[in-house]
Amino acid sequence: MKLISIRMGLVTLLACGLIAVCSSSAVAQDAAATYKAKCAMCHGPDGKGSAMGVKMGARDFTSADVQKLSDAQLTETITKGKGKMPAYDGKLKDTEIKDLVAYIRGLAKK
């Protein structure tokens, strides 16, 4: 009976791990889709800026200057906008903005 209980515990643990991996993958895909739809036009698909975006003052997300900003600062910029960048408050959910910040952090590693 104890062996069955241990096996059930392991199966549950594995199932939870699989769900966590799948959901984090889905979050990453959602953030990538949001980035492509809302950010890539100016900031470029790789975060380094498009020709049009650079002319408008779009920042290179892979730069040390951007990467040293806190998550709160990046969140505020996305939420309230800055310069010619529009505000996304009310257009994106808080979780989408949080996921975008994480996505932006990942661009420096590519």
Q: C-alpha angle with apex 14: 12 to 16, nearest 5 degrees?
A: 70
> Which domains does the chain carry?
27-107 (1.10.760.10)
Mean pLDDT throughout 29-42? 92
Higher-confidence residue of 43 and 10: namely 43
Residue 47 has pLDDT above 90, yes or no: yes
Looking at 39-84, list the stretches that DSSP marks H as alpha helix, in order from N- to C-terminal side. Answer: 40-43, 51-56, 64-67, 71-80
Residue 41 has pLDDT above 50, yes or no: yes
CA-based nearest residue to 43, from 31, 30, 55, 25: 55
